[in-house]
Amino acid sequence: MSTLVFLEHHGDELLKGSLGVVTKAATVAGGDIAGVVLGSDVRALAEGAGNFGAAKVYVADDPQLEAPLSQPRVDVLAQLIGDQGIDTVLFANSVLAADVAAGLAARLDAGLNWDLVDLTQENGKLVGKRPALQDSVYVDVGWTSEPRLALFRSGSFDPSETGGSAQIEDVEVVLEEFSTAARMVDQAHEESEGPSIEDAPVIVAGGRGLGGPENFTLVEQLAKALGGAVGATRAVVDAGWYPYATQVGQTGKTVSPKLYIACGISGAIQHKVGMQSSGVIVAINKDANAPIFEFADLGVVGDVHEVVPRLTELVKQRKGG
């Protein structure tokens, strides 16, 4: 097998999700695992992948690859996969990686299985595991031809260091005209203000069910009483109720605190993938049919405006007394 892992970076760091996939690939596929880094001024980062199990890292270093846009990356990868006879390409899900993987699937007529949470080898065949229908069914999926493309759900694998080093190989960058038509006008900068929620032991998160931005004070007070941080769903962040830095979910942070309290959050799959590995999940929502109750350890069908402040008081009393 000849396996390639798409190594995504932000600033001068390789993303943890990509490195987790390298670690997984090394255990499943065996043999030499290669990574590929695409960007501008990325050679130094590429070397870091060796420490997670990549024997070789291809580097496409070109100013045209500076912006995190998918289409130029499809061009470079399609060429590389063909030249090197790569049969399996693995991606950790992200906004960028999903678009690269699907563009590549069309370009190469290659099968793409997405949202995988595991990959195994059975009788010489690669088998992916994909949760379906709100994670109520786990489906074993495969590929009927090569190259096989696999996109893994965020946070599926933890990276582990091997102490190895990678051989670096440069890749030629030749781009299609249509691939450079979209242009980055203003690239997102990581918001520096506010505490990072990724390391918080307790997260109290609010969603649209709070009714309005002013009600986030209820969530803040409970978080403060529990010594935790505040999280938010995409819907309320896009609506401007709460800052982006607190967003939990597919396009936000992936968190795994000891305790996650979801207030007025329906629990759509985009949110779920960002917090499902929390130790204990408590959900308060007035809609008894909200999907969040399917995976909460304790679910309360009730009004957040009543339950949350009451809980805050009880927590304070307990701590004070």
Partner 1 sequence: MKIAVCVKQIPEGSSRIDPESKRLDRSGEGALNPFDANAVEEALRLRDAAGESEVVLVSMGPARAQDALRKALAMGADSAVLVSDEAAAGADLVATSYALSKALEREGADLILFGQQAGDSDGAVLWAAVADRLRLPVVSQAAGVTHENGKVTVKRQTEFGYDVIEAPLPAVVAVSDAINEPRYPSLKGIMGAKSKPQATVSLGDLGVEPERAGEQGSRTEVYALGDPPARGESKKIEDDGSAAQVILDFLAEKRLV
CB of 291 to partner 1, least distance (A): 11
3-state SS class at 310: helix
Among 34, 81, 116, 151, binds partner 1 (CB under 8 A): 151
DSSP letter, residue 161 = -
Among 65, 69, 119, 255, binds partner 1 (CB under 8 A): 69
94 binds partner 1 (CB under 8 A): yes
Lookup result for tokens 């941080």: 229
84: Cα separation from own chain's centroid: 28
Residues in Cβ contact with 177 at an 8 Å cutoff, skipping those fewer than 6 apart: none
49 binds partner 1 (CB under 8 A): no
Among 83, 195, 198, 314, binds partner 1 (CB under 8 A): 314
Residues 119-138 that bind partner 1 (CB under 8 A): 127, 131-133, 135-138
185 binds partner 1 (CB under 8 A): yes
Report the C-alpha gap between 281 and 175 in whole angstroms: 46
CB of 127 to partner 1, least distance (A): 6
Total residues in contact with partner 1, by rule CB under 8 A: 94
12 binds partner 1 (CB under 8 A): no
Residues 218-277 that bind partner 1 (CB under 8 A): 226, 234-235, 237-239, 244, 251-253, 258-259, 269-270
CA angle 225, 228, 234 (to 5 degrees): 120
Residues 294-313 that bind partner 1 (CB under 8 A): 295-303, 306-307, 310-311, 313
C-beta of 26 vs 96, nearer to partner 1: 96
Among 22, 38, 74, 119, binds partner 1 (CB under 8 A): 74
User: How are beta strands 13-14 and 9-10 bridged, if at all?
Assistant: antiparallel
Among 3, 70, 88, 215, binds partner 1 (CB under 8 A): 70
Tokens of 206: 């609010």
Q: Pick from 261, 268, 214: which is nearest to 241 by CA?
A: 214
Tokens of 186: 């203003």
Buried b (16+ CB within 10 A) or exposed e, 20-41: bbbbbbbebbeeebbbbbbbee
